[in-house]
Amino acid sequence: MSRIDTLPPLRQVIASHQLSARKSLGQNFLLDLNLTAKIARQAGDLSACDVLEIGPGPGGLTRGLLAEGARRVLAVEKDARCIAALQEIAAAYPGRLEVIEGDALQIDPLAHLTPPVRIAANLPYNIGTELLVRWLTPPDWPPFWQSLTLMFQREVADRIVAQPGSKAYGRLAILAQWRSDARIAMSLPPDAFTPPPKVSSAVVHLTALPRPRFEADAATLSRVVAAAFNQRRKMLRAALKGLAPDIEDRLHSAGLKPTDRAERVPLEGFCALARALDA
Ligand code: SAM
């Protein structure tokens, strides 16, 4: 197997730093450095970018990103046991890797990043969706990032790229496709990870659009789709009745029928409804 750098193999790193995987931290590690370099390539040209990586663990993807030429990587890791291993990578790539020990849900990484920024991560499954939704729903657009290259459970990846009428269509599809181009870039079987998770995974690549596809307020749109898909089989007038006392009128003025069901309403319809609710 070819080498992407001169650091020790990841199995050796894990053994010497005693990084046995912890389920509570969503730890399923990628140990094949050729695979992590391939994932890093899905993020595009990194040579002029800072890359934010959440959950570097023992550093497989971190090494892929650096070997693929990332200008700088900022890696945020909650597990204190991983920090020494990550510092060894930082020493091998002087000035190009900054490691922050902390919880990605609590830390604001912006002060540590210089634009342009791309985000790449093999996300801990328990916080992956929450982080994605945060990155997709800031009040202003464009966001601080140009692209997101993120590993998810296959079922979550399918929800991000889903089209109206499909079972996977819902809140994630709408929020992702409203302001970005989203596609599945790679599929990975469980045995690509150590330990193998129960389900398959996929890398999703999202590119931020310069402007949202349709005008809407992010907070209102989030509220509408959360309510609509919370009860996806119900008619819109029932699912959304808590949002406004005159919801039927608002649905009409958005060009929607009160008897429509959320899973058939396209992105444009939800944005029109968000505008009608804010009018
Ligand atoms: N990137 C590594 C890889 O590909 O082998 C590890 C990926 S593993 C699926 C998820 C990583 O996220 C773990 O290292 C875990 O400790 C870390 N993690 C879990 N919760 C976190 C949080 N709230 N903030 C930052 N890192 C977290």
pLDDT tens, per residue, the chain with 279 residues: 458 899 999 999 999 999 999 999 999 999 999 999 999 999 999 999 999 999 999 999 999 999 999 999 999 999 999 999 999 999 999 999 999 999 999 999 999 999 999 999 999 988 999 999 999 999 999 999 999 999 999 999 999 999 999 999 999 999 999 999 999 999 999 999 999 999 999 999 999 999 999 999 999 999 999 999 998 889 999 999 999 999 999 999 999 999 999 999 999 999 999 999 999
pLDDT of residue 232: 85
Residues 124 and 62 in one domain: yes
Phi/psi at 76 (5° precision): -110, 115
Is 128 near ligand 1, meaning CB less than 6 Å away?
A: no
At which of 208, 229, 253 does a domain end?
A: 208
Query: What values do phi and psi take at 177, rounded to 5?
Result: -85, -15
Distance 210 CA to ligand 1 centre (A): 30
Buried b (16+ CB within 10 A) or exposed e, 216-229: bebebbbbbbebbb
Task: Please state the separation of Cα 86 from the chain's center in Å.
Answer: 22
d(C-alpha 210, C-alpha 226), whole Å? 25
d(CA 223, CA 57): 34
> Do 226 and 162 share a structural domain?
no
What is the Cβ-side half-sphere exposure of residue 133, based on CA atoms within 13 angstroms?
17
User: Do 189 and 236 share a domain, yes or no?
Assistant: no
CB of 46 closer than 8 Å to CB of 70: yes
- 146 belongs to a structural domain: yes
Instruction: Please check whether residue 261 lies inside any domain of the structure.
Output: yes
pLDDT of residue 2: 55
186 DSSP β-pair partners = 203
Q: Considering only CA atoms, which of 271, 254, 255, 162 is closest in space to residue 211?
A: 271
Burial of 106 (0-12, 13-18, 19+ CB in 10 A): exposed
Residue 29 CB less than 6 A away from ligand 1: yes
- Which pLDDT value is given to residue 3? 80
Atom of ligand 1 nearest to the CA of 57: 14
**Residues facing 149 on adjacent strands:** 120, 205
Residue nearest to atom 11 of ligand 1 (CA): 55
Q: Is the CB of 57 under 6 A from ligand 1?
A: yes
Q: How far apart are CA 107 and CA 220, in angstroms?
A: 25
User: How many A from CA of 67 to the centre of ligand 1?
Assistant: 20
Q: Are residues 118 and 234 both part of a single domain? A: no
Q: Is the CB of 127 under 6 A from ligand 1?
A: yes
In a domain, residue 125? The reply is: yes
Task: Using the 3D structure, point to which of 208, 227, 243 is the last residue of a domain.
Answer: 208
Any ligand 1 atom below 6 A from CB of 196: no
Helix, strand, coil percentages, rounded to 5, for the chain: 40, 20, 40
Contact 50 CB / ligand 1 (< 6 Å)? no
CB of 76 within 6 A of ligand 1: the answer is yes
Nearest to 117 by CA among 73, 152, 168: 73
Residue 213: inside a domain: no
Q: Fill in the amino acid letter for 161.
A: V
Final residue in a domain of this structure, among 146, 174, 208: 208
Q: Whose CA is nearest to atom 20 of ligand 1?
A: 25
For residues 100 and 202, membership in a common domain is answered with yes
Q: What is the Å distance from ligand 1's center to 181 Cα?
A: 25
Domain holding 198, by residue range, is 3-208
Threshold 0.95, pTM exceeds:
yes
Residue 123 CA to ligand 1 centre (angstroms): 6
Asked if residue 189 and residue 88 are part of one domain, the reply reads: yes
Number of domains in the chain: 2
**Please, which residues have CB within 8 angstroms of residue 255's CB and are 6 or more apart in sequence?**
269, 272
> What distances in angstroms separate CA 168 from CA 129, 157, 192, 232, 266, one per listed residue?
14, 9, 24, 11, 13
